[in-house]
């Protein structure tokens, strides 16, 4: 057997180990705010190493199960999730991973930067509890945007519980959009119907094809309201937004059957179910027929969370690969002494930094757009950067994490190192929350809008860069401006025809 054993990579405090994150926070935040955020992140980084990372790993090793029947043949739909999953959800609440983003006594820019930096440290160790956190944040944003606080009992209770820092009382939310016919084409694919009961309450009937984190407490979903003759409006304008509790007060499912759990390539820690809605009691929130536009608030938040998952996965794997390069000896010296290996790591570092800066720009714009004195251009830039950061980082993280796996040689391919989980989990980031092509079309949707996005973009570049850099960039900026102006005229033409690419919302009714 011999006495040689390989040295595994060591996970260091991910905050203290990340000079780029520190520099970026210092650039964005005032000194006083930076000190507070730094203290919290450094402490949290230590907790990740000592406690959280091991809980996340256990979620991968003890995957969720669904038992539909008890021993006596009764339908029970019992979801079995490991205790570490529940503990991690409690930690999310205790650490304020949602509540920090909505703290009333902190400026929106500071609270969003703090929240997203913290999620960035947490994500690779989180056992995918970042998925319910993303949807929870999206639900809070959507319910607040609809002005339901203090006006609607369930919505008000939901906002309070979704933002709770008490792990025993905190709720999480699901986001049920995808059906069998379609996940990208939500309007074309939605066959869930809503039968009126009373006031704004309805019973929902339909089949939701992918419903992640199904141990959640509430969900936002879309359905078509049927009139008294049993008819419903087709297309996007026929969809309304609903809020529902997943379980009744007695703990029984609210007119919902869990049909099966998805057998997935990755995200195995996360229970993703097919659901039959068979009379689920739900509240119509927002104007009927504005379901897609209303749930877009949720999508735009979860897409930034998705980018956190992508970029933090890149950072974590790269940090481990760099650490390993100081330990693994090959051909007589450690990897770090081989120029070709360090060149590989350096290339990955550059790609990761680029993605990270794009992510932090999105988090910054999110914060800026939530300030009382926010300008229209901040909202517009956020609208533009959200699909871009999601699609770009989702696309980049898969090859980068694959390259990082190779840095560990054969060991990278071995399950008990935990490294394969990172690659499997990365592969979902370009798919869910809108595929790359669908998000590319969303970027076009932004440019097809009435406001001048490019002017806002150019002004932002001018505010961020010194004048000599802007002079150097004049040529590419003009080239992009010309390309966009050509694109705009194509978009205007398609908007006035029956072209299938027509992007304005009235087109496909």
Residues making contact with ligand MFK (CB under 6 A)? 130-131, 134-135, 175, 177-178, 183-184, 186-187, 212, 236, 292-293, 296, 299-300, 302, 305-306, 309, 432-434, 438, 442, 445, 505
d(CA 175, CA 222): 9
C-beta of 205: minimal distance to ligand FAD in Å?
A: 17
CB of 9 or CB of 266, closer to ligand FAD: 266
CB of 320 or CB of 444, closer to ligand MFK: 444
Q: Is 172 in the site for ligand FAD (CB under 6 A)?
A: no
Residue 186 binds: one of ligand MFK, ligand FAD, none (C-beta under 5 to 8 A by kind): ligand MFK
Judge whether 150 and 113 are in contact, CB under 8 Å. no
**Structure letter (DSSP) for residue 424:** H
How many amino acids of this chain bind ligand FAD (CB under 6 A)? Answer: 21
CB of 124 or CB of 266, closer to ligand FAD: 266
CB of 445 or CB of 481, closer to ligand FAD: 445
| Sole binder of ligand FAD in the list 115, 123, 254, 267 (CB under 6 A) | 267
Tokens (6 digits) for 162: 């979704």
What single string gives the DSSP state of each residue in 286-348? SSTT-HHHHHHHHHHHHHHHHHHHHHHHHHHHHHHHHHHHTT-EETTEEGGG-HHHHHHHHHH
CB of 9 or CB of 238, closer to ligand MFK: 238
Strands 218-225 and 173-176, sheet pairing: parallel
Residue showing tokens 């490991």: 82
CB of 184 or CB of 342, closer to ligand MFK: 184
Dihedral, CA of residue 96, residue 99, residue 103 and residue 104, to nearest 10: -140
Could you tell me which stretch among 191-199, 205-213, 395-403, 466-474 binds ligand FAD (CB under 6 A)?
205-213
Judge whether 285 and 143 are in contact, CB under 8 Å. yes
Judge whether 25 and 117 are in contact, CB under 8 Å. yes
**Helix (H) and strand (E) counts for the chain?**
15, 11
Closest residue to ligand FAD using C-beta atoms = 183
Spatial neighbors of 245 by CB under 8 A, at least 6 apart, are: 154, 217, 218, 254, 281
Judge whether 237 and 289 are in contact, CB under 8 Å. yes
* Residue 310: half-sphere exposure toward Cβ, Cα within 13 Å: 35
C-beta of 272: minimal distance to ligand FAD in Å?
A: 5
Residue 267 binds: one of ligand MFK, ligand FAD, none (C-beta under 5 to 8 A by kind): ligand FAD
Residue 211 binds: one of ligand MFK, ligand FAD, none (C-beta under 5 to 8 A by kind): ligand FAD
Q: Is 392 in the site for ligand FAD (CB under 6 A)?
A: no
d(CA 286, CA 293): 10
Q: Is 421 in the site for ligand FAD (CB under 6 A)?
A: no
Strands 239-245 and 218-225, sheet pairing: antiparallel
Could you tell me which stretch among 84-92, 176-184, 291-299, 360-368 binds ligand FAD (CB under 6 A)?
176-184
C-beta of 188: minimal distance to ligand MFK in Å?
A: 7
| Sole binder of ligand FAD in the list 42, 184, 342, 494 (CB under 6 A) | 184
Residue 505 binds: one of ligand MFK, ligand FAD, none (C-beta under 5 to 8 A by kind): ligand MFK
d(CA 171, CA 155): 12
CB of 226 or CB of 438, closer to ligand FAD: 438
Could you tell me which stretch among 32-40, 210-218, 385-393, 461-469 binds ligand FAD (CB under 6 A)?
210-218
Closest residue to ligand MFK using C-beta atoms = 236
CB of 295 or CB of 365, closer to ligand FAD: 295
Q: Residues 172, 177, 181, 184: is their CA dihedral positive or negative?
A: negative
Q: Is 210 in the site for ligand FAD (CB under 6 A)?
A: yes
Q: Is 428 in the site for ligand FAD (CB under 6 A)?
A: yes
Residue 264 binds: one of ligand MFK, ligand FAD, none (C-beta under 5 to 8 A by kind): ligand FAD
C-beta of 213: minimal distance to ligand FAD in Å?
A: 7
Chain centre distance of CA 465: 29
d(CA 64, CA 82): 7
Among candidates 426, 410, 399, which has minimal Cα distance to 324?
410
Could you tell me which stretch among 15-23, 247-255, 282-290, 433-441 binds ligand FAD (CB under 6 A)?
433-441
Q: Is 437 in the site for ligand FAD (CB under 6 A)?
A: yes
Tokens (6 digits) for 11: 């996970």
C-beta of 137: minimal distance to ligand MFK in Å?
A: 10
C-beta of 301: minimal distance to ligand FAD in Å?
A: 14
Dihedral, CA of residue 301, residue 304, residue 309 and residue 314, to nearest 10: 180
Spatial neighbors of 370 by CB under 8 A, at least 6 apart, are: 108, 112
CB of 97 or CB of 177, closer to ligand MFK: 177
| Residues within the interface to ligand FAD (CB under 6 A) | 175-178, 182-184, 210-212, 264, 267, 272, 428, 431-432, 434-435, 437-438, 441
């Amino acid at each position: 057997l011999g006495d040689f054993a390989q040295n595994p990579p060591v996970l260091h405090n991910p905050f203290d180990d990340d000079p780029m994150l520190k520099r970026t926070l210092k650039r964005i935040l005032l000194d006083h705010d930076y000190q507070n955020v730094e203290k919290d992140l450094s402490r949290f980084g230590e907790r990740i190493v000592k406690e959280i990372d091991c809980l996340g790993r256990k979620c991968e090793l003890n995957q969720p199960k669904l038992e539909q029947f008890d021993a006596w043949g009764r339908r029970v739909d019992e979801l079995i999730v490991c205790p570490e999953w529940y503990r991690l959800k409690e930690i999310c609440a205790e650490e304020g991973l949602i509540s920090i983003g909505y703290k009333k006594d902190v400026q929106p820019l500071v609270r969003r930067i703090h929240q997203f930096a913290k999620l960035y440290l947490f994500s690779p160790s989180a056992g995918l509890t970042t998925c319910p956190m993303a949807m929870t944040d999206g639900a809070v944003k959507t319910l607040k945007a609809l002005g339901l606080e203090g006006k609607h009992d369930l919505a008000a209770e939901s906002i309070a519980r979704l933002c709770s820092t008490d792990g025993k009382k905190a709720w999480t939310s699901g986001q049920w959009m995808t059906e069998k016919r379609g996940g990208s084409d939500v309007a074309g694919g939605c066959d869930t119907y809503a039968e009126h009961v009373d006031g704004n309450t309805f019973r929902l009937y339909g089949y939701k094809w992918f419903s992640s984190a199904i141990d959640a407490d509430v969900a936002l979903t879309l359905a078509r309201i049927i009139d008294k003759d049993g008819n419903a409006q087709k297309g996007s304008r026929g969809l309304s937004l609903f809020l529902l509790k997943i379980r009744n007060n007695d703990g029984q499912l609210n007119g919902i059957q869990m049909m099966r759990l998805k057998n997935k390539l990755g995200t195995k820690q996360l229970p993703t179910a097919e659901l039959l809605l068979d009379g689920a009691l739900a509240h119509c929130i927002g104007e009927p027929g504005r379901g897609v536009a209303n749930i877009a608030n949720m999508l735009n938040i979860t897409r930034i969370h998705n980018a956190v998952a992508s970029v933090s996965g890149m950072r974590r794997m790269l940090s481990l690969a760099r650490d390993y390069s100081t330990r693994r000896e090959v051909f007589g010296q450690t990897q770090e002494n081989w120029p070709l290996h360090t060149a590989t790591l350096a290339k990955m570092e550059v790609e990761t930094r680029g993605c990270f800066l794009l992510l932090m720009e999105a988090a910054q714009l999110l914060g800026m757009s939530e300030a009382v004195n926010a300008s229209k251009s901040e909202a517009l830039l956020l609208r533009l950067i959200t699909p871009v950061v999601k699609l770009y980082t989702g696309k980049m993280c898969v090859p980068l994490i694959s390259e990082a796996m190779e840095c560990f040689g054969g060991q990278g391919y071995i399950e008990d190192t935990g490294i394969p989980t990172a690659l499997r989990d990365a592969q979902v980031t370009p798919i869910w929350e809108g595929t790359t092509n669908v998000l590319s079309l969303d970027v076009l949707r932004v440019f097809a809008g009435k406001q001048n996005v490019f002017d806002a973009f150019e002004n932002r570049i001018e505010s961020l860069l010194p004048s000599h850099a802007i002079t150097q960039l004049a040529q590419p900026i003009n080239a992009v401006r010309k390309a966009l102006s050509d694109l705009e005229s194509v978009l205007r033409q398609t908007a006035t025809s029956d072209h299938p690419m027509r992007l304005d919302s009235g087109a496909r009714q």
